[in-house]
Amino acid sequence: MPEEATMPLHTLTRRHLIAASALAAIPPALRAQPAPEKITVAGWSKPITEVMPLLAEPDKGFYKAQGIELAYVPGAGGGDAIRNILSGQADVAFTDPGSLFAALDKGEKLRAIYDIYPRNVFNVVALKSSGITRPADLKGKRIGVYSLASGTRQNLLVLLHQAGLAERDVEIVVTGLLNFAPLMQGQVDATAATDTGLAVARRRGVKDVNVIEVGDSLPVSSDLFVVREAVFQQRKEALRRFLRAYRNAAAWMIAQPDEAARLAVTRAIDGSDPSLNAEIVRLRNASTVSPLTERAGLGAMDLASLQKAADVYHALGLVSRPLRLDGVVSPELLAAP
């Protein structure tokens, strides 16, 4: 029989009171804390400067403060990010709306829970000497994309279709993230990119270019956090804390861009140039905010805008059926618990 079971009640109570008093005397910071819950983010890219709100964790501890152990799985496009959550290699996908629409079109059960970049940052860039100034000029041309699973390809297809062209009317060339070298070397006639990709290219000597902004044709979010329906249902509290941490990290990068640029030197694979880091951080900060986020906070999702984009994808034949997003766009995890 345990020793405590044979003790008088007053002795047992006194021992527990002493133990409780001793615990109360321990500073809260030194008490045992619950084990952090792991959340793995599937990225569309390698760990590059523009995703510093995910990379600064060893220095800033935004996720640890919310009881989250953060991990990052790199990818080569938003489609990769979706595949990594569908295969169970990650919990949250950092992906573009086009990749989300494509997965929904195939019957996948997904939820969009946070708008990372409410502004469309995609573009198509061509040298001025090419004469390419509008989407219709892309017919018969070779066009670079990051990967076939990337938002660059998805947004290029939007431009083509709105100009009455199909994918078969151009030659798509996979160039990887360093897609401006093939442009300068004449291997492609134009390249699909983003604002930060163009900023890097200009720093490296690319000039005299025409830029076709996809946002002029389709003003919709560039990237979202997306999860599987099962993860959404089973891990709401952990996801809520993850989003709170990401929102805090994004707010930090907006408030302290110089610090983010400095930390990118050691945390991002492309961060060796602090002045270039600062420009990339500035561009990403600009794409993180919108009139909606000014009213509703970072991460707020615009259902009407996303639904309009899904309707455009269907009208252009980029998805095979109409998509209803009112059951997909789920902002409730952004609300205070």
The three state secondary structure string of the chain is CCHHHHCCHHHHHHHHHHHHHHHHHCCHHHCCCCCCEEEEEECCCCCCHHHHHHHCHHHHCCCHHHCEEEEEECCCCHHHHHHHHHCCCCCEEEECHHHHHHHHHCCCCEEEEEEEECCCCEEEEEEHHHCCCCHHHHCCCEEEECCCCCHHHHHHHHHHHHCCCCHHHCEEEECCCCCHHHHHCCCCCEEEEEHHHHHHHHHCCCCCEEEEEHHHCCCCCCEEEEEEHHHHHHCHHHHHHHHHHHHHHHHHHHHCHHHHHHHHHHHCCCCCCHHHHHHHHHHHHHHHCCHHHHHHCCCCCCHHHHHHHHHHHHHCCCCCCCCCCCCCECHHHHCCC
Is pLDDT at 333 greater than 50 in this prediction? Answer: yes
For residue range 246-280, list pLDDT tens digits in order: 999 999 999 999 999 999 999 999 999 999 999 99
| Entry pTM | 0.86
CATH code matching the domain that covers 122-216, chosen among 2.102.10.10, 3.40.190.10, 3.30.43.10, 3.40.50.460: 3.40.190.10
* Predicted pLDDT at 304: 97
Quick: pLDDT tens for 172-194.
999 987 779 899 999 999 999 99
Delimit the domains of the chain by residue range: 37-120+221-334, 122-216
Say what the pLDDT of residue 33 is.
62
- In the prediction, which pLDDT does 243 show? 98
pLDDT range class, residue 32, cuts 50, 70, 90: low
**Band of the pLDDT at 27, cuts 50, 70, 90?**
low
Q: In CATH, which of 3.30.360.10, 3.30.110.30, 3.40.190.10, 1.10.3720.10 is domain 37-120+221-334?
A: 3.40.190.10
- Do 37-120+221-334 and 122-216 show the same overall fold? yes
Specify the pLDDT at position 8.
Answer: 44
Report the chain's mean pLDDT, rounded to a whole number. Answer: 90
pLDDT at 162 over 90: no
Label residue 205 by pLDDT band (50, 70, 90): confident
